[in-house]
Structure 1
Amino acid sequence: MAFQLVRLDDDSLYEHIFERYVELERHTATLKQDLGIQQRDASTLEIDIEPPEPSDEVVRMKKSGRRRRKGDRAAEDEGPRTYDERYSVVVEQSLSDLNSSVSNNNSTTGYVLWSSTPFFLRWLLYSAEAQPFRNGNVAVEVEGASEDTIIVPGMYTGAQGDVGILELGTGISPLLASVLCNHVSGYVCTDQRGILNKLKQNLRENVSQITRRRCVSASLDIENESEGTISEELEEPSRTRRKLTVRLEVQELDWEKFSADVPHPYLDQLATECETVYILAMDVIYNEYLIGPFLRTLSALRDLFGKKQTRVRCLVGVHLRSQDIATRFLEQAVVEYELPVHSIRGAAVDQSRYALYLVN
């Protein structure tokens, strides 16, 4: 069953926050009670992204030859998958910089991998709830708004046209880019200058995970390095060679300094080559001081892509730590910046320590 959307306004956002933190209390026994660093005692992580094991009920159904029927809850919970995708991404963290008081102007959280990123990626790739993002142009039910449904554009390049991703606050993690570059036509990773060298190193080390497309990159000095293993049955016969290529770039983007009035060649390229751009921001809401700069940048980017006639959507993942920080983020986003924020509701998300928001 696909996720549902709840439109948040200056009243419903408080009810939403209350319900999410009540849900956290309900699942305290099964949720980690930490800040959310994936692993803070290892410099090198190997993150396996692979489908979850099917439930015993689904295994029995397959053995018996029973077909999926509409309304079959056990089958629907497993959900259809686009591909049986498996990845193994190596992430080199910088623990010394994480604990430094001088690195990157004392902004050090980006030097490690945070658990919200692998959670979101596994949800996107494998969960039945996330099917609208994989398939594209799916009508999703909306609560608390005048419209009954919203047509959600897919995050994968396909019949709907080329899709690009702009990631804000990437940090040193190559995880999202290394995996999602298999499905999109363009990907731009961004963060502050002090983070970028380590990020580039990690991306180069994991370019072998991009097997479904040829990867080219000016900022990483990659030209046709990954030829891919694309099979004909996965691609439309009419698709041009350009559409079987992903352009992966890294760009400095500081929220406190960003201006849409100066040239941004990689962003312009993304807008020119893609009909749809998704802005991804995972676990960037943790400090009240940064909420305003983040939302100013997000609003400016939406305007920038909108002026170029590029359809833009934003997905923000929040690790639910401080209730005050989460509330302040939604207050500013909904009330001050008047952004069309929707909470993504589904069993997998609701039972996690994370909240996902679609800015439509």
Structure 2
Amino acid sequence: MTSQPLAAALGKPIEDAGEETFLLFSQDIPSNNLGFVDSKADSLEVEIAGHEYILRQSPGLLHSNRGEGTTGAVIWKITPLLAAWLTSLPRILSGVLHNRAVVVELGCGVAGLTGLVLSRLVQCYVLTDQAYVMKYLKENIAANATTPREKKTFKKRTNEKKFTPGERLKALALDWEVDSVQNLKSAIPPGAPIDLLIICDCVYNEYLISPLVQTCVDICRLGSTAADATVVLVAQQLRSDTVCELFLDALMKEFNVWRIPDNELSSQLRSGSGYVVHLAILRDQVRKAE
């Protein structure tokens, strides 16, 4: 299922950002606090799909006075949940998440967990965030990418290739407000479209909504075609209804947006979990495909 039949399978896109936000926040939302896994730990051990990852964080950086933001310094609760769901290769993403796929993630944070997990299953995965994240991120890649500990009970996937991180998992500094997405061309295979763009828990600051959405637009136009349009996946914790509505409204000006139905998600990401996962495809690319 490429992006064209994916849009058909999802049905009618969301029409009103305010109504979608009301529906999301009218649920009984459990308290996830701010959403950190453990903001005081220097490192965390996470197991996904039989692989164990030891991930370094920076609690000191999180609580520093760095003006440009520090939220990428620690791991957020939704990240391992999303990574676990994606590594199951969900049916709804079968046309865009496969062994030849090129995946880019925005705002990956110091852990790069989703990239560590999914890069075992795709052709190329590019982790991006601001420059201050890169030191810790590359250390986590080096510590986990080559030989993550594998439990004996875990059966290796038939499509899981021998892991060569230098070729398949890359880290690139990308600031939504100042950097050009053209820089991604140095990290992805020549001429390859970007199949999937992942944004996990990056929607929290109303002042960053405009540059984030514009970055999404620019990446989706980076070599994609109507037949192979880039699919944007946005996973977020439900915190502020105001910020959520502002983001959805801005996103829907450029994209057709759908909420992934519960029957396609893991139980940890369904309605009532405090999280939501949307898919988006550029409006003009959907029209061309039709």
Q: How far did 1:245 drift?
A: 9.3
Residue 36 of structure 2 corresponds to residue 8 of structure 1? no
The CA deviation string for residues 216-241 of structure 1, in whole angstroms up to 9 with x for no partner, is: xxxxxxxxxxxxxx97x9259xx9x9
Q: Secondary structure at the match of 2:198?
A: strand
> Which residue does the alignment assign to 1:69?
none
1:285 alignment partner, one of 203, 223, 239:
203
Shift of 1:20: 1.3
Larger radius of gyration: 1
Identity of aligned residues (%): 27
Deviation, structure 1 residue 115? 1.0
Q: How does 1:333-348 map to 2 (within 5 A)?
A: 333-335=251-253, 338-346=254-262, 348=267
* Mapping of residues 255-266 of structure 1, within 5 Å: 255-260=176-181, 263-266=183-186
Query: In the alignment, is the contact (CA less than 8 A) between 2:87 and 2:118 conserved in 1?
Result: no
Show CA shifts across 1:124-156 (max 9, x none). 2349xx3232xx2xxxxxxxxxxxxxxxx2312
On the 8 A contact 2:193/2:222 being kept in 1, the answer is no
Q: Which residue does the alignment assign to 1:36? A: 35
Q: 1:252 to 1:276 in 2, by over 3 A?
A: closer
Q: Determine the structure 2 residue equivalent to 1:92.
A: 56
Which fold has the larger relative contact order, with Cα–Cα distance below 8 Å and residues 6 or more apart in sequence?
A: 2
Distance 2:166 2:173 in 1: 23
Structure 1 gaps, min length 5: 50-84, 137-152, 213-229
Match of 1:354 among 257, 269, 275: 275
* 1:89–1:209 CA contact under 8 A, matched in 2: no
Q: Pick from 169, 173, 176 the counterpart of residue 252 of structure 1.
A: 173
Give runs of aligned pairs for residues 228-243 of structure 1, distance below 5 A.
Answer: 234-235=158-159
In structure 2, distance between residues paired with 1:245 and 1:235:
19
Which amino acid in the other structure matches residue 107 of structure 1?
G
Q: Contact 1:280–1:315 at 8 Å: present in 2 too?
A: yes
Give the Cα–Cα distance (whole angstroms) in 2 for the partners of residues 166 and 244 of structure 1: 15
Alignment of 1:287-306 (within 5 A): 287-306=205-224
SS at 2:255's partner residue? coil
Decide whether aligned partners of structure 1 residues 308 and 4 sit closer, same or farther in structure 2, where only a CA change above 3 A counts.
Answer: closer
Q: How far is 1:197 from its partner?
A: 0.7
Task: Find the aligned partners of 1:210 and 1:5 in 2 and give their Cα distance.
Answer: 39
Correspondences of 1:1-360 after superposition (within 5 Å)? 7-9=13-15, 11=16, 13-23=17-27, 25=28, 28=29, 31-49=30-48, 85-102=49-66, 105-126=67-88, 130-133=90-93, 136=94, 153-157=95-99, 162-208=100-146, 234-235=158-159, 246-260=167-181, 263-267=183-187, 269-270=188-189, 272=191, 274=192, 277-306=195-224, 311-335=229-253, 338-346=254-262, 348=267, 349-360=270-281
SS in 2 for 1:357: strand
Counterpart CA distance in 2 for 1:343 and 1:6 is 10
Cα distance change on mapping 1:6 and 1:181 into 2, 3 Å: same
Q: What's the CA shift string for 1:100-139, capped at 9, x where partnerless?
A: 003xx44100000011111112222349xx3232xx2xxx
State the distance in 2 between where 1:235 and 1:180 align.
12
Q: CA RMSD in A?
A: 3.2
Secondary structure at 1:234 match in 2:
coil
Could you tell me whether the CA contact under 8 Å between 2:105 and 2:198 is conserved in 1? Answer: yes
Query: Could you give the per-residue CA deviations for residues 6-40 of structure 1, whole angstroms, max 9, x where no partner exists?
Result: 6112x3x32221111122x2xx4xx3340101111
Inter-partner Cα distance in structure 1 for 2:229 and 2:141: 27
- Aligned-partner SS, 1:352: coil
* C-alpha distance in 2 between matches for 1:308 and 1:197: 37
TM-score computed with the length of structure 2 as normaliser = 0.81
1:318 Cα shift? 1.5
Q: CA–CA distance in 2 between the matches of 1:295 and 1:254? A: 13
Q: List runs of 5+ in structure 2 lacking aligned partners.
A: 1-8, 282-290
Aligned partners of 2:245 and 2:238: how far apart in 1?
Answer: 10
CA drift at 1:96: 0.5
CA distance in 2, matches of 1:320, 1:314: 18
